[in-house]
Structure 1
Amino acid sequence: MLRWGVAIADAAVDDDDDNDDDDDNDDDDDDDDNHDDDVNYDDDDDDDDMIMIIIMMMMIMMTTTTMMMIMMMTMMMMMMMMMEVVVVVAVVVVVVAAVVISMNLRRRFQQHTINKR
């Protein structure tokens, strides 16, 4: 009976060792799977980071382009205003010169008619 008990205990110990080895292998496989999952999660995070970086770059580009367009529009408006100011000044100068010349011509004409009499 004792031999049977020793044999059964030895078999049980051997089975436990075998099971432990299998469990260790399974644990290793699980660790590898978990590691792969961690790597996949990291890849997903990197993808999310890249998406966020791309979105931020697009937003920055959009804001810079809108700022540049606003600056261009303001520059064009300023140039248009400057051109309008130049045109208005030129018109005013021409009108004043025409009025001065016409008054001068009228005075000369009146002086000429007075001298004729």
Structure 2
Amino acid sequence: MKIKVLKTTKTTSDGRTFTSYFTPVMIVVKGEEDKGEQRKGLTLNFSKESEKKLPVKFNGGILECKGEDVIMPYVYEIKQKDGKDVYPNVYIKDFDTISPLKPKKNTCQFLVDEEEQEETIIG
């Protein structure tokens, strides 16, 4: 099974910065089953063993995993625990390989006003 891993960095209100990983999925949302599968992002958690296998400064990629090494929800359901929302996530026990993400095509083009102008002689 292949899992796309994306990295996000967040800063807390007290200035601490932390990194987390997530994966885009299509999943049925509890209470909205009539809409079918919807696009969601699920946080990825790694076991200590699998986290050690990640490259230094890992910025994301495609993980190749065995099905038994991945724990994932079947339905997107936000639960309550101690008055706080608990979102569904994916747990990676182990993975075999990591492939880099395909680079996105750059669609940004700088616009330069290149109207014909008369030469100006300074002298």
Give the helix-richer structure, 1 or 2: 1
Which structure is higher in RCO with an 8 Å CA cutoff and minimum separation 6?
2
> TM-score, normalising length from structure 1?
0.16
